[in-house]
Structures are given as structure tokens and as C-alpha cells.
Amino acid sequence: MNPFQYSKPDTVQAAVDLSSPVSRFIAGGTNLLDLMKENLTRPEHLIDITGLPLADLSETPCGGVMIGALVSNADLAWHPWIQRRYPLLSQAILAGASPQLRNMASTGGNLLQRTRCYYFYDANVPCNKRRPGSGCPARDGLNRMHAIFGASEQCVATHPSDMCVALAALEAVVHVIGRGGARTIEFADFHRLPGDAPERDNQLADDELITAIELPAAGFAQHSHYLKIRDRASYAFALVSVAAALELDGPVIRQARLALGGVAHKPWRDRAVESWLTGQTVSRETFTAAADALLQNAEPLEHNAFKVRLARRAVVRALSDAALVGGQA
């Protein structure tokens, strides 16, 4: 690990004022410290934000919930408001990592996780995400864990977060602040596809700090389900995950949200499929047709074609379970 400067500001503005292209904000450090130990990132200045007043949940005027960026994953998953009003989010968080990591990991930091692509984590091989222009050995190498949607010639990595898949389905909003002031970013726009700049995971500027994540009033509390499929029962990243949320009027679907994890550089949604589900009747045939439409444009690599079949079954199962939560058949 390389030497670095350390600061612990006591106000959000002071933290922002200390930031630079060679600095990093740190809270729980559950991903950043690993990256530093492996010499995959070498910040010259760590800005400890754990003393900032960003660790509370509050209700918004429109009936949603504002989650401070420093709320731990564990506290968020078990918070009564989240369990009662946004069970999809609670399920997703509890499906990830381990209890020890969830106790340390912050909500804001969860959004900033870097890919667990094994080529990215091996400093001895090329990686466009780590060293732009050096190549992507995953395209022609072992790519079982990699993307089937939204990849580019430059990168086929996937985003690792479970929480973010649920936040995508819930259409959360990310609040950030930088030297230019505060702004909000729709969750669908926060993470990037790799394109020609795979080193950039999200839309944050170097000086911007996540301060909160806002959940809308609609939490799909009656009909939602998070399904994660992985190689082992715990402490493993998703091969495929599905966040399914439905608003039902009897057997009729009035609104549908579907987000997939483990399949792209960001949580993956297809608004056309969600729109098609609106007005349809709850049935296995309906959910199978939605899954087929969602997967029709998948572009698997040599070793991950199984993800298409796996995702198809997972989407049908997650939608079926979401419909059954409130008693619909």
C-alpha cells in the first residue's frame, strides 16, 4: 500500500473542498481498502467522511424516504420503514455480502463498488477499466461471470451490487454535492455502460460526494421480490439476480418494474418490457413472455450463454413470487 494523506472533515462542505482527482472519500472502506491493498487504486489523499451528519433516515414531504449516505447496509436492511414499505430493498441488501460487511458498508459506498471481474483484480494482466487502452482479456478469456447486456469491445464487466438492483427497480434518486453545488441524479442515469470509457463507472465528478439516496413513495410493499442466483448460498456475487415489483388490481398488472443484476455494467432494465406487462393478467404465460422479450437481445460470450437461460427462469420465478406475496395466484 502506498503512503497517503489522511483528513477527517466535520462538515460536508469541508469534505468537498478537500477533494481532488487524486483523493478518495472513504466511509466503511469495504471495497476501497481491498483495491488499495491490491495496488489497483492509489489515492494520494483519503478523506474520511464518517464524522459527517449523513447517517439518518427521514421521511420526505411526498411520502418517500431519504436515506443518508452513511447509513450502514445492516441498519438500512433492518429499519422498520424499509422492511415495511420497501421490502424489495431489504431483501436485496440481506442477499449480499456477509453480516460483518453489511455492518461496515455504507449506503453511499454501495453505489460506488467496483466490478469483481477477476481480470480487473489481477494487476499483472491488461484491463481497460484499470488501464484504459491496455485491452480486455475477458472478451476472449474466461468470461463465465461477465455481461450479456450493454457490453462493449472495451469492457464486459458486470456491476456487483445487490442493493443497486433493487434501487433501480424502485427508481431511487441519488443526491450529490460538489464544488458546483448540489444536484440529483436519477438512479437509471447514475451508473454508466462501459462504451469507450470503461474506467468510468458512474456520472460523479471527482469533487462530488453522495449525500443521500431518496426513495419515492411507491415501494411496491405488497408485491415485490428479490431473487439472487449464485454459485454458493452466501458471500457470493450474483450470476443473475432479479428485482421484480408489481402493482396489481386483482389479477391485472397496473405497473411493473424489473431490474436485473449480474448481467451488465449497471443494473439492467427494459422499459418496453415493463410497459408491455402493464394491463396484462398475472399468469405464468404472461411472465414467460416478458422474460423472453427481456432476453431476446442478450449477447452472451463464449462461457456465459447459460446466463440467458438462467435469467429467463429467474425472471419468471421472481415475477411469480412477487405476484404471490399479496395473495394473488
| pLDDT band, very low/low/confident/very high, at 46 (cuts 50, 70, 90) | very high
The CA distances from residue 142 to 135, 137, 262, in Å, are 15, 8, 16
| pLDDT band, very low/low/confident/very high, at 326 (cuts 50, 70, 90) | low
The 10 Å Cβ neighbour count of residue 170 is: 25
How large is the average pLDDT for residues 52-75?
A: 98
Q: What is the pLDDT of residues 197-236, one digit of tens each?
A: 999 999 999 999 999 999 999 999 999 999 999 999 888 9
| pLDDT band, very low/low/confident/very high, at 2 (cuts 50, 70, 90) | confident
The pLDDT score that the predictor gives to residue 329 is 41
Q: Is the pLDDT of residue 306 over 60?
A: yes
The pLDDT score that the predictor gives to residue 234 is 86
CB 319, CB 257: distance < 8 Å: no
Whole-structure pTM value: 0.97
| pLDDT band, very low/low/confident/very high, at 328 (cuts 50, 70, 90) | very low
For residues 146, 148, 153, 158, the Cα torsion angle rounded to the nearest 10 degrees is -40
The pLDDT score that the predictor gives to residue 292 is 98
Nearest C-alpha neighbor of 22 from the set 49, 50, 3: 3
Q: How far apart are CA 158 and CA 145, in angstroms?
A: 8
The pLDDT score that the predictor gives to residue 1 is 63
For residues 309, 315, 316, 317, the Cα torsion angle rounded to the nearest 10 degrees is 100
**39 dihedral zone (left: phi>0; alpha: psi -120 to 50; beta):** left
Q: Mean pLDDT in the chain?
A: 97
The pLDDT score that the predictor gives to residue 325 is 75
How large is the average pLDDT for residues 119-138?
A: 97
The pLDDT score that the predictor gives to residue 166 is 98
